[in-house]
Structure 1
Amino acid sequence: MICEVLHYPDERLAEKSKPVEEITEEIKELAAGMVETMYKEDGIGLAAPQVGALYRLVVIDVSGPEVRNDLMTLVNPVIVTAEGSCDSEEGCLSVPGYRAKVKRSETVTVKAQDLEGNDITIEADGMLAICLQHEIDHLDGVLFIDKISRLKRSMYDKKVKKWMKR
């Protein structure tokens, strides 16, 4: 089932998510809806808060958008190590019509669970490392535009205000 993606400045996007205590059918259905939504929107990642569910749950597939063959569903993901630094050009399904350079760690190690409750560890670099950081930020109520300069942020905020008046 396709989920509605929340858009900035929706205040729910700034809320911190709670851990998934038990992987229930409801959580599995939420994850399935998030995957369907991410693919429909040609995204490479989606966090539960972006669809109004304050759970520590993300779906990622950086193989797309033409081919989709590397889906990851991560429950309670945590970055345990982060090294190096790089600039990444980012966009977001919750921040439509805007892209900006963001400083990220070059490599990360993430621990999480899959939908069966199995512990998994992901060592990532490149696009996957950036996407993991971006989606885990959502779980803490942080958008990529929270990491850009005040000037760029105020320019984007002005655009959003114009769009909202329409």
Structure 2
Amino acid sequence: MKLSSVTVLLSCLSVASGFSTPFIAKTQSVSSSALNLFGGKKEGGDKGPGMMDQLGMLKKAQEVASKKMAMDKELAKVEHVGESANGSVKVTVKYVPPPPMQQPGYEATKVDIDDGYFNDESTTSGDLSTSVQEALKDGYAKATIATAENMQALTKELAEVMGDIQGGMGM
């Protein structure tokens, strides 16, 4: 009888302790991520970026993004013509604006094959395939180079904005 009552009592206590909150030691942490609204650092260090500096940098970043969208529209209008080694096949390639955070794409929109080359009986399907392949590669290369040249100015401007952000934060 005593054993069963002790067992019941212990099982009740163990169940009750299962629903109690565990002991958690109090810890203190100091965060240095306070935002100085006007950019001043009180303890004589480098001046951090203030709210106005951050708003200015945000405005610059938005300007760069709008310039990128405008440049994408301009580049999509330009046609780049690639030619095969013998000049008998020409492929027109256009820039395809990418979705956000993606690589740009290119699309072949037109293939011109010289009638004389196409109807020549000495031209094999392998020759024709090779010529089309050469023209495609040339068109993609020209489109990629032209796009890279146009994006360099935008990349430089973005680097300046990022330099302002890092310079203002003392990094």
Give the TM interval when normalised to the shorter protein: under 0.3
Write 1 or 2 for the structure with the bigger share of strand. Answer: 1
TM-score normalized by the length of structure 1: 0.21
> Which has the higher Rg, Structure 1 or Structure 2?
2
Write 1 or 2 for the structure with the bigger share of helix. Answer: 2
TM-score normalized by the length of structure 2: 0.21
